[in-house]
Amino acid sequence: MADTTDVINPAKISEVVGRVRMATEADVDHALDQAQAAFQTWSRTTPEERASRLCDAARDLRSALPELTRLFVRENGKPLREAEIDIRRSIELTEIVAKDLPQWSKPELIEPDQPVWARRRARGVAAVISPWNSPVLLSFKRFIPAIGAGNTAVVKPATYCPLTLVRCVEIINRHLPSGVLQALIGSGAVAGEKLASDKRVRTIAFTGSTETGRRIMELASRSVKKVFLELGGNDPAIVSSDAKLDEDAIARMTHGILRASGQVCVAIKRIYVHHSRLNELVEKLARSFDRVVVGNGLIPETTMGPLNNRAQFDFVTGLIDRCTQKGLVVMTKGRKLFPPAWNEGFFVLPSIVLGAGEDDELVRCEQFGPVIPVVPFVNEHDAIERANNTPYGLRASVWTADRHRAEALADQIEAGAVFLNDHGIFSNLHIEFPGIKQSGFSRESRWAALDHYTDTYGFAE
């Protein structure tokens, strides 16, 4: 008999949001058979037909937005506003891909004299494996271009919060032939490994930790799959001596650190500040952290929800304890929305840590929680060296009033994207830059994402 697992509300751990059946290897096998069979007909549909089906799906998802948002808050913990942004962006992405499809799929004349055309062909079954911190948007970013380009897809979200994604897939499936898109809930060890190693999977898109990414790459190599990896990060923010630390800048910095309780691959995870501005920055950041209201994401007053799961809660609280034991200064700020229910959820108040050095665990690891080390530097060369002293290279930010200085710093920071006086996401969904170093590689912006799920072949007249 297959195992089941309970999906828990992280703001009230006694509440089971849903009980799900864990996929066995046989379930994955069956799903891949279905996906392979569906590919035969789906890959022959026109881009216009696929676009039209995706538009219909997006319309239904829009009507279900309030229901999806609330479910997402209950299983993930994010405050309502942040959860809604994730779902909205997933829907927008579906619409954008639908709009792009007819133009993108046109053959391209690459040599007029002979002439030679570049034509695209869908690859087959795509597997999408996603993490718990942002399971909806990060899955949509992969499977929507995959099925839009004519592939079929099997999606495996993490088991901590799979329900909203599964509900979205049900809604989308009202508009797709059977087998084109399937969601499977299962463990990494069973369902994940099977997807990464099965020969029928031609493309694998993984978002998650660097450690798992390595394993997936290894398994995928056996059948030479096309691999897409978006992995962990330890984003630095460098605050220069001339940084403008007004209220807006501090609000943007706070958001860059504490969005989704810090459980964001592209959150600020280390701050290096010019020593002349250390006290001012810490004072202002502490004041801003003090305005954070930690509670159940369903209550509108909440500005920061709980951590998502027990393992993450134990890791982050343990990390903070170890900082205190080492004698680092831990400044804990913020307000508990409802103190009597504090221990009923995985709640953690935000903290600023002073006195940490390069070798300290908090500076080296990906904390994925609301605790940030602030480390002073004397010269910028030293700050860059420390910022680059990590296996990761997702994003970074520079905080300065001097645009030229910002560009000079950005040129030296090893990151997929560098933000000036901000640290966040690109507001336009068309724009995305992949991580570098051990943060992975991928192109997920617009046509690049569609290209990823296709083979280009030449046609010479």
The site for ligand NAD (CB under 6 A) is made up of 129-134, 138, 156-158, 187-189, 192-193, 196, 207-209, 212, 215-216, 230-233, 265, 366, 394, 435, 439-440
The minimum distance between CB 413 and ligand NAD, in angstroms, equals 17
CB 419 within 8 A of CB 260: no
In angstroms, rounded to a whole number, what is the distance separating the alpha carbons of residues 456 and 458? 7
Q: Which is nearer to ligand NAD, 89 or 326 (CB)?
A: 89
**Bridge partners, 351 (sequence order):** 332, 371
The minimum distance between CB 186 and ligand NAD, in angstroms, equals 7
The minimum distance between CB 194 and ligand NAD, in angstroms, equals 8
CB 331 within 8 A of CB 288: no
The minimum distance between CB 332 and ligand NAD, in angstroms, equals 24
The minimum distance between CB 286 and ligand NAD, in angstroms, equals 26
Q: Which is nearer to ligand NAD, 161 or 243 (CB)?
A: 161
Q: Which is nearer to ligand NAD, 193 or 385 (CB)?
A: 193
The minimum distance between CB 131 and ligand NAD, in angstroms, equals 3
Q: Which is nearer to ligand NAD, 15 or 193 (CB)?
A: 193
Q: Which is nearer to ligand NAD, 215 or 364 (CB)?
A: 215
What amino acid positions are annotated as catalytic residues?
A: 230, 265
Q: Which is nearer to ligand NAD, 220 or 349 (CB)?
A: 220
Burial of 308 (0-12, 13-18, 19+ CB in 10 A): buried
The minimum distance between CB 108 and ligand NAD, in angstroms, equals 29
Q: Which is nearer to ligand NAD, 158 or 249 (CB)?
A: 158
